Amino acid sequence: MELARLIEKIRIKHPELTEKEIMDKLVSASKRTGGLISDQILMRMIAAELGVQTEGNAASELTLFVKDLVPGLSNITVAGRVIAVFPSKPFAGSRNGKLASVFIVDCTGVLRVVFWNDKAGLIESGEVKVGRLVRFSRAYTREDLHGKAELHVGGSSEIELSPKDLDEADFPFVDKFTVKIADIALNHKGGRVSLAGTVESHSPISVFSKGEAGFVKVLRLILADDTGEIPVVVWNEKADELEKVLGKGASLRMVNAKVRKAVNDGIEVHVDSGTYVELAS
């Protein structure tokens, strides 16, 4: 049995661990993942965390679906199609560095992936781009600001671009997860959505003072698809980006836009720094 073989390998590498202690790790991992990941894969992940090499652990065997991810996983492999790219930004702390991020999709969902330091260079160089298949190995998950899992790739992580063993047909494009405007008010209040539509009208950028906090820029537009229309509020640097390309009839695609209650008790969509916007053909 594979489980027993993996436990034996772990105990050879770590004789200080009893079989019960290893099984306790498995039970804990299973609870953390809601029982969505098989015991064999979880035990391989535990073995990897403990530095134990296991044969037959090809990336394709251990690749997890987006829907199965929860915060707190490590040494995992995830593959997907890039649907949004955000440029790198510097950060300061105990050590200076930079980070960048993308959104990917597989057949089960949408996932934010954060690139740290040297890994962000793949985005700066343009090697990681919208539409490309990417596989991340030795990655780990963290909880984002909304309580969902996001994937992080750091110094020990590996990134494969357009892996030859992945089938393009297995990975959808963003259209699969694009929400119709009529469905937003019904099913996505307070959440984040991907949507697409045509600009019916838009206003010039307005600038408001926030006192010591500086100034805020706001651009408003009406986006429509074949099911209805919705007000869109675009903030700060995103307003600057869109103003350059906006025009009546322009087609836009948005990823990770925020759905909020409007002043008139209706629903509106907000485009902020975490939203990806592109002109759609």
Structure tokens at 257: 């836009």
Rounded Cα distance between 204 and 2, Å, is 63
Residue 69 confidence (pLDDT) above 70: yes
Residue 225 confidence (pLDDT) above 50: yes
Compute the radius of gyration of the chain from its Cα atoms. Answer: 22
End residue of a domain, out of 172, 201, 232: 172
CA separation, residue 123 to residues 56, 85, 188, 277 (Å): 31, 8, 30, 17
Give yes or no: residues 76 and 149 share one domain.
yes
Rounded Cα distance between 110 and 195, Å, is 13
CB 218 within 8 A of CB 208: yes
Structure tokens at 41: 């894969």
Range in 25-39, 104-118, 172-186 the model is least confident about: 25-39
Structure tokens at 128: 């990681």
Give yes or no: residues 208 and 240 share one domain.
yes
Of the two residues 57 and 66, the one the predictor is more confident about is 66
- pLDDT tier for residue 59 given thresholds of 50, 70 and 90: very low
pLDDT score recorded for residue 191: 87
Residue 203 confidence (pLDDT) above 80: yes
Give yes or no: residues 6 and 96 share one domain.
no
Give yes or no: residues 226 and 274 share one domain.
yes
Give yes or no: residues 197 and 263 share one domain.
yes
* Domain around 96: 59-172
pLDDT score recorded for residue 36: 67
- pLDDT tier for residue 57 given thresholds of 50, 70 and 90: very low
Give yes or no: residues 135 and 197 share one domain.
no
Give yes or no: residues 71 and 17 share one domain.
no
- pLDDT tier for residue 54 given thresholds of 50, 70 and 90: low
Range in 122-131, 184-193, 198-207 the model is least confident about: 184-193
- pLDDT tier for residue 117 given thresholds of 50, 70 and 90: very high
Give yes or no: residues 275 and 183 share one domain.
yes
Rounded Cα distance between 97 and 144, Å, is 20
The mean per-residue pLDDT over the stretch 52-66 comes to 65
CATH of the domain at 210: 2.40.50.140
What 3 state SS string does the chain have?
CHHHHHHHHHHHHCCCCCHHHHHHHHHHHHHHCCCCCCHHHHHHHHHHHCCCCCCCCCHHHHEECHHHCCCCCCCEEEEEEEEEEEEEEEECCCCCEEEEEEEEEECCEEEEEEEEHHHHHHHHCCCCCCCCEEEEEEEEEEECCCCCEEEEECCCCEEEECCCCCCHHHCCCHHHHECCHHHHHHHCCCCEEEEEEEEEEECCCEEEECHHHCEEEEEEEEEEECCEEEEEEEEHHHHHHHHCCCCCCCEEEEEEEEEEECCCCCEEEEECCCCEEEECC
- pLDDT tier for residue 244 given thresholds of 50, 70 and 90: confident
- Give the best-scoring range by mean pLDDT among 56-60, 117-121, 244-248: 117-121
Give yes or no: residues 121 and 152 share one domain.
yes
- pLDDT tier for residue 58 given thresholds of 50, 70 and 90: very low
Average pLDDT, the chain: 88
Residue 201 confidence (pLDDT) above 90: yes
Percent of the chain with pLDDT over 70: 95
- Say how many domains are in the chain: 3
Give yes or no: residues 156 and 132 share one domain.
yes
